[in-house]
Structure 1
């Protein structure tokens, strides 16, 4: 008997048979909220603003990351360092730094544009929220945490160290 000549109740039973047969097969669903699998090694997740080993910020407020972003998701406002208030090694620092994750497409062009390697991407992938305003990350949310040997800026550069020493990684706290 073909499908077109089969009575309607038998068609419904055939559909239920497929559903009933699925009950006894092993589930292939991932248990995401309870079991978090690590992402691939080169996964582009949440951004991070890095620090030098003494705690000064690597971001010099050049705004190249914002210019490179095709989605216009990054906003940077630079300010000048002073001798009494130094936040980064260069003449300037990123006073305001925002990334709008509602717009970010995760392409990584901002990472490539950064001349000081201040901006990198972590493997953190949980960026969902029920409030749109909470998906605009501010500088304090993006900065790498201070390690125990680091001092929170503003503070002076390591005595005797030059900008070049910082950029080449020769400075230790």
Structure 2
């Protein structure tokens, strides 16, 4: 059996018990930053085009759009190909992999008289609850047809929960067209 050692905590003096020194240090840091922001010398004030007092960005007049990193992941959207055909084949991989379960897909059949009937199905309904979405990018990574992309949009607002559920039509509207090879239209596939 291992030996147990009892450690004795060091005794605190009266100043340490009252935390006076810690409070004074915190107040000095706060006053230093306040003085720099009033004089217009705050760190980052120039790069953010701030109002001059501090580095507070004046949203919505000023936005992060030019300063977003290349790898930024925003809101998901569905895209079409050059001929306005749906890329999504309702494989439901994005629905299954979504950690917060924000995606709901109802598959639908493509009529036999459709010129693109080679494809088995397309989504009848495709909903993404933007309140639940955590912008993780897993839906984009798992999509075999490159039908869902994360945009660089961070300002998604609505006045009700119903407005925050983006349906198929809205997702295609905000996603737009994506140029490039689409596996499901490939004749060799």
Q: Is it true that 1:30 corresponds to 2:57 in the alignment?
A: yes
Contact kept, 8 Å, 2:76 with 2:135, in 1: the verdict is no
CA distance in 2, matches of 1:126, 1:88: 38
Q: Is it true that 1:44 corresponds to 2:63 in the alignment?
A: no
State the TM-score, normalized to the length of structure 1. 0.68
Q: Which has the higher contact order (CA 8 A, sep 6+)?
A: 1
Q: 1:53 aligns with which of 82, 86, 104?
A: 82
Alpha-carbon displacement from aligned partner over 1:27-67 (angstroms, at most 9, x marks no partner): 21112210222221111111121112111010011111100
Give structure 1 stretches of 5+ with no counterpart. Answer: 5-13, 148-161, 168-173
Matched pairs, number: 140
CA RMSD of aligned residues (A): 3.1
Which of the pair has more CA radius of gyration? Answer: 2
Higher percent of residues as helix = 2
The answer to which of 80-89 and 129-138 deviates more is: 80-89
CA gap 1:145/1:109 in 2 versus in 1, 3 angstroms: closer
- Could you tell me how far 1:83 is from its partner in structure 2? 3.2
State the TM-score, normalized to the length of structure 2. 0.63
Give structure 2 stretches of 5+ with no counterpart. Answer: 1-17, 19-26, 41-53, 179-183
